[in-house]
């Protein structure tokens, strides 16, 4: 499989500094805990839409943490580490949706409105990736660095709102096996996080 621009941004995010490797490791552990909790604590399979919603919440929490650093004049290293983490997490999330969730939803939905929502979601991903690449390749000392992270957060918040309020309800109406799909999403995320961890350590 060829490396996409999105995965390239994630690789840059994961290897930018040695401290980023530590962040990636902690993210991997968090993902594993989340997958375990989703499946074992309830005794039920992982629901794909709930899984994606939880993933949205995780990255939105990272944006809030970043803004707190900005508000309290956090140093460049800390801000850059967190920004790199945001870029890596968003890239992985987008990759999973594009590889697994969107194609499955597109096959399951027949209405034109559903097709339009998926088309818009993919276009929004493409636009977000441009900002992600700029942040991943930039430095926290850059004049517009914080502004780019803030705009990316606002952009993602809009995208998440459309998915959760419009796309996800339509997908739930289909006969798509959301439990099996959720398991596939979780396993793919763990694999991508493991790849980034290996790249950061090399």
pTM score of the predicted model = 0.78
Q: Token pair of 193, please?
A: 């996080």
Distance, in Å, from the CA atom of 157 to the CA atom of 61, rounded to the nearest integer, reads 11
pLDDT tens column, 167-183: 999 999 999 999 999 99
Q: Report the distance separating Cα 94 and Cα 192, nearest Å.
A: 12
Question: What pLDDT score was predicted for residue 199?
Answer: 85
pLDDT band per the 50, 70, 90 thresholds, residue 30 = very low
Cα dihedral 156, 34, 171, 99 in deg (nearest 10): 70
pLDDT at 34 over 90: no
Name residue, tokens 């991508």.
192
pLDDT digits (tens, 9 = 90+) for 39-49: 434 456 789 99
Lowest mean pLDDT among 2-6, 167-171, 186-190, 196-200: 2-6
């Amino acid at each position: 499989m060829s490396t996409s621009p999105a995965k390239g941004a994630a690789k840059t995010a994961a290897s930018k500094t040695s401290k980023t490797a530590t962040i990636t490791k902690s993210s991997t552990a968090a993902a594993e805990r989340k997958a375990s909790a989703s499946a074992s604590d309830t005794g039920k399979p992982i629901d794909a839409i709930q899984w994606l919603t939880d993933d949205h919440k995780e990255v939105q929490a990272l944006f809030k943490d970043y803004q707190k650093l900005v508000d309290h004049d956090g140093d460049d290293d800390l801000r850059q580490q967190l920004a790199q983490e945001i870029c890596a997490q968003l890239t992985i999330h987008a990759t999973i949706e594009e590889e697994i969730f969107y194609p499955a939803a597109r096959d399951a939905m027949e209405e034109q409105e559903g097709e339009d929502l998926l088309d818009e979601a993919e276009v929004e991903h493409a636009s977000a990736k441009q900002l992600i690449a700029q942040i991943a390749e930039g430095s926290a000392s850059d004049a517009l660095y914080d502004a780019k992270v803030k705009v990316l957060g606002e952009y993602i918040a809009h995208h998440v709102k459309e998915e959760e309020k419009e796309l996800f309800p339509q997908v739930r109406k289909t006969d798509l096996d959301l439990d099996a799909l959720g398991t596939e999403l979780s396993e793919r995320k763990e694999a991508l996080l493991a790849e980034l961890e290996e790249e950061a350590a090399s």
